[in-house]
């Protein structure tokens, strides 16, 4: 994720988007990463990573209070949120 501007462009330009709010120092986030990498190759939706240390403003706008947080956006609006390590099947079901 390069900037808040590119984040907003991707979220509004796509019907569905998966957003992973994470930090490099977060142990559970490191468990979530391979799940999302596998998911990215199997769903028709962009999977974005937002480093909450680098993009604290985006995390604050989204009211992220714990990481990892995976948010599902549909037509530019958040429609579902998972806090903690979440399986690919749960995320895939939320995209359906």
* Predicted confidence (pLDDT) per residue in 14-47, tens digit: 999 999 999 999 999 999 999 999 999 899 999 9
Interior angle at CA 36, CA 83 and CA 78, nearest 5: 50
Which regions of 8-60 does DSSP assign to beta strands (E)?
Answer: 16-22, 47-51
| Domain residue ranges in the chain | 4-95
| Prediction pTM value | 0.92
Tell me the per-residue pLDDT of 47-81, one tens digit each, with 9 for 90 and over: 999 999 999 999 999 999 999 999 999 999 999 99
List, by residue number, the catalytic residues. 26, 29
Can you tell me the distance from the alpha carbon of 18 to that of 20, in angstroms, rounded to the nearest whole number? Answer: 7
The model's confidence at residue 3, banded by pLDDT at 50, 70 and 90, is confident
**CATH class of the structural domain 4-95:** alpha beta
């Amino acid at each position: 994720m390069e900037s808040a501007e590119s984040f907003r462009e991707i979220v509004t330009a796509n019907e569905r988007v998966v957003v992973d709010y994470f930090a490099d120092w977060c142990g559970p986030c490191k468990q979530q990463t391979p799940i999302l990498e596998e998911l990215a190759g199997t769903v028709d939706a962009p999977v974005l990573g937002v480093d909450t240390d680098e993009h604290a403003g985006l995390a604050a706008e989204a009211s992220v209070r714990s990481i990892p947080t995976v948010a599902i956006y549909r037509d530019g609006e958040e429609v579902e949120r998972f806090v903690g390590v979440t399986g690919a099947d749960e995320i895939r079901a939320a995209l359906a």
